[in-house]
Chains A and B, each alone.
Chain A
Amino acid sequence: MYESSDLRKGLKIVIDGDPYIVTDFQFSKPGKGQALYRCKLKNMVTGYTMDRTYRSGEKFEPANLDEAHMQYLYKDSDGYHFMDTRTYNQVRVTEDHVGDAKNFLSENMEVDVLFFQDTPIDISLPIFVELRVAKAAPGVRGDTATGATKPVTLDTGYELQVPLFIEEGEVLKIDTRTGQYVERAKK
């Protein structure tokens, strides 16, 4: 069981039989009083959101989701398609359930798809992925000693800040936990 002090953004708990994810979290301690944990929670199946305030010492049931190791195939108007690498079973995950992971998916990438009962409701990405730069303006000449950065867009449409020497077509290693550039991918 989780306790109140475990609450943080991204934690998955069961409330009234449904899996919820903490989407926003505020730790509050008014005037040296008891700690309060104020959460925005999203129902991972229905998408319904709600606010709850918890006190210290409360307990929460972890949302145990079934995991299947799958490969990303493609995206169409119905959603994102994945295939179980053992059974060749295919599933379709809606864009809403894919969430931010859509910024980091590339063809044949191996991910874990999380199911609640039989509905795919979330994607768990590898910590590091390699993605190609689709669009980058040339780096501006000038003072690079201060570690200045520029924005580029990846094949997935995701925009991030990278060092000035990065060019279009390069493959970058990205940390999916933070969405940040790590280094150029090793060939």
Chain B
Amino acid sequence: MVPVPNTPRGRRLLARANIAAALRDVLRNQGFLEVDTPLMIQAPAPEPSIEAFAVPQGRGAADLFLIPSPELNLKRLLSRGFRKIFQMGPVFRKGERGRYHLPEFRMLEWYRSDAGYEELMADCEILLGQAARACGLDGSTLLFEGREIDIRPPFQRMTVDEAFRSFAGWTPGPSPDLSRFNEDMATKVEPNLPKNRPVFLMDYPAACASLARLKDGHSEVAERVELYVAGIELANGFSELTDRAEQEERFRRDGLRRLELGLAPYPPPEAFLASLQDLPPCAGMALGVDRLVMLMTDATSIDEVVPFVPEAIPADARTTPGADCA
């Protein structure tokens, strides 16, 4: 029995520790190796919408960057013959703060060689069930925001095309206007996804592929999948792109987009690009552990599932009577 204060925060931090242990156990029992790739790297992937914190090195040396994700180094390990690996730890994204966002949050990211995004979806079904059992739940139902969520496999699946046609009234095709796609995803699609079951939103437009490979024979979509539970984005996974030329071209376009938006350029990820020639067919997924804990403990805000938040007094700190004082 692990003693914790008898407060909502105490109970949630205990659940958090138990969930992390369960996630680790599921992967270890399937032969995954846990690794700790660096939290400081020379070259983050040049995403137009993810800002990395720069770490000054002084003495004329180039800045390092805190990882927004361990993806690039984990793929380098796959290229070196490590076939099943995972990393669970902090990742950092500048300017992301809100009810479901912290600039520093905990990510579980796992990779399988000789696998595609289908295997990742099966992994998620098992991970959620085991995480729930680790909190003393029965592994088949969650109670969240007043609703029962049935988390028994198989989870529901929906393509991005189906979701947009049903909830936004248009079909994105391979190259939708990204602003319109993004806004409708947040305001029309995500809020209308089923809330009583987890759902995999899959097969994203090619323009939104990120580091995912395009589908064989259907190059208008990328093999990318996102897991949503109760309308909250929980995990993002890809059948990974292994073609160096295509990856370089995507990085080049993203780099230009960053400059257009007035964002600082990053050094090209040379070590990662060089490793692609040895990257086997593989698939990898990144899951937000804090949000998973929110779902398992019926938390209203990500602030409730971490020991401390960056601000001295959070912006919307006005509490209601009976709120936790701990």
Judged by a CB distance under 8 angstroms, whether B5 is at the interface is yes
The answer to whether A147 and B7 touch across the interface, beta carbons within 8 angstroms, is yes
- In the assembled complex, the Cα of A160 lies from the Cα of B321 at a distance in Å of 5
The answer on a CB contact under 8 Å between A29 and B101 is: yes
Chain A residues closer than 8 Å to B323, beta-carbon distance: 161, 180
A residues less than 8 Å from B97 (CB atoms): 27
Report the Cα distance A161→B319, complex, angstroms: 11
**A32-B318 contact, Cβ under 8 Å, with A55-B179, A55-B183:** no
Task: Give chain B residues whose Cβ lies under 8 Å from the Cβ of A34.
Answer: 48-49, 178-179, 182
Contact A5 B236 (CB under 8 A): no
Segment from B30-38, B126-134, B184-192 that makes contact with A = B184-192
Give the distance to chain B from A3, nearest Cβ to Cβ, in Å: 11
Chain B interface, number of residues (Cβ within 8 angstroms): 43
Q: Is the CB of B99 within 8 A of A26?
A: yes
Q: Please, what's the 1-or-0 string for A123-157, where 1 marks a CB less than 8 Å from any CB in chain B?
A: 00000000000000000000000111101000000
Complex CA–CA separation, A180 to B320 (angstroms): 9
Contact between A30 and B185, CB atoms less than 8 A apart: yes
Instruction: Name which of B52-60, B114-122, B242-250, B309-317 contacts chain A.
Output: B309-317
State which of B178, B182, B261, B313 has its C-beta within 8 Å of the C-beta of A36.
B182
Contact A25 B316, CB 8 Å, known A32-B47, A161-B323: yes
Given A30-B233, A34-B179, A177-B318: A5 in contact with B95 (beta carbons within 8 A):
yes
Q: Closest B residue to A148 by CB, please name it.
A: B6
Point out the residues of chain B lying under 8 angstroms from A32, CB to CB.
47, 49-50, 210, 236
Of residues 82 through 101 on chain A, the ones whose CB sits less than 8 Å from some CB of chain B are: 100
B204 engages A147 (CB within 8 Å): no
Query: In the assembled complex, which residues on chain A have CB atoms less than 8 Å from the CB atom of B189?
Result: 30
Within 8 A of B (CB), among A8-22: 8-10
A67 at the interface (CB under 8 A from B): no
0 or 1 for each of B98-127: is its CB under 8 Å from A? (1 = yes): 111100000000000000000000000000
In the complex the two chains form, what is the Cα distance from A161 to B97 in whole Å? 28
A149 and B178 contacting across the interface, CB-CB below 8 Å:
no
Instruction: Kindly provide the distance from the CB of B184 to the nearest chain A CB, expressed in whole angstroms.
Output: 9
Q: Does A117 contact B (CB under 8 A)?
A: no
Residue of B98, B210, B226, B233 near A27 (CB, 8 A) is B98
Q: Compute how far the CA of A55 lies from the CA of B48 in the bound complex, rounded to whole angstroms.
A: 14
CB nearest to A176 among chain B residues: B318
Flag B163-181 by CB within 8 Å of A: 1 or 0 each: 0000000000000001101
A33-B96 in contact given A8-B316, A9-B316, A28-B186 (Cβ < 8 Å):
no
Choose among B236, B261, B321 the residue that contacts A31 (Cβ–Cβ < 8 A): B236
Q: Could you say which residues of chain A place their CB within 8 Å of the CB of B48? A: 34
- Whether A178 contacts B313 in the complex (CB less than 8 A), given A31-B185, A33-B182, comes out as yes
Once bound together, how far apart are the Cα atoms of A165 and B189, in whole Å? 51
Instruction: For B6, list chain A residues within 8 Å (CB).
Output: 146, 148
Residues of chain B from 218 to 248 with CB closer than 8 A to chain A in the complex: 226, 233, 236
Q: Are A179 and B236 in contact (CB under 8 A)?
A: no
Q: Which residues of A contact B317 (CB under 8 A)?
A: 177-178
Is the beta-carbon distance between B186 and A30 smaller than 8 angstroms? yes
Min CB–CB distance B310 → chain A (angstroms): 14
- CB of A112 within 8 Å of the partner chain: no
CB of B325 closer than 8 Å to a CB of A: yes
Knowing A55-B179, A148-B6, A177-B317, the reply to whether A29 touches B49 (Cβ < 8 A) is: yes
Considering the complex, give the chain A residue whose CB is closest to the CB of B68: A32
Chain B residues with CB under 8 Å of A9's CB are 315-316
Contact sample, A vs B, 8 pairs, CB 8 Å cutoff: A10-B315, A27-B100, A28-B186, A31-B226, A31-B236, A57-B261, A146-B6, A161-B321
6 nearest interchain CB pairs? A27-B98, A33-B182, A30-B185, A159-B321, A9-B316, A8-B315
Query: Known pairs A33-B181, A161-B322, A177-B318. 18 more at Cβ < 8 A?
Result: A25-B98, A25-B315, A29-B101, A31-B236, A32-B49, A32-B210, A33-B182, A34-B48, A36-B186, A53-B187, A55-B179, A146-B6, A147-B5, A147-B326, A151-B321, A159-B322, A161-B323, A180-B319
Residues of B at under 8 Å CB distance from A? 5-7, 47-50, 95-101, 178-179, 181-183, 185-187, 189-190, 204, 208, 210, 226, 233, 236, 261, 313, 315-323, 325-326
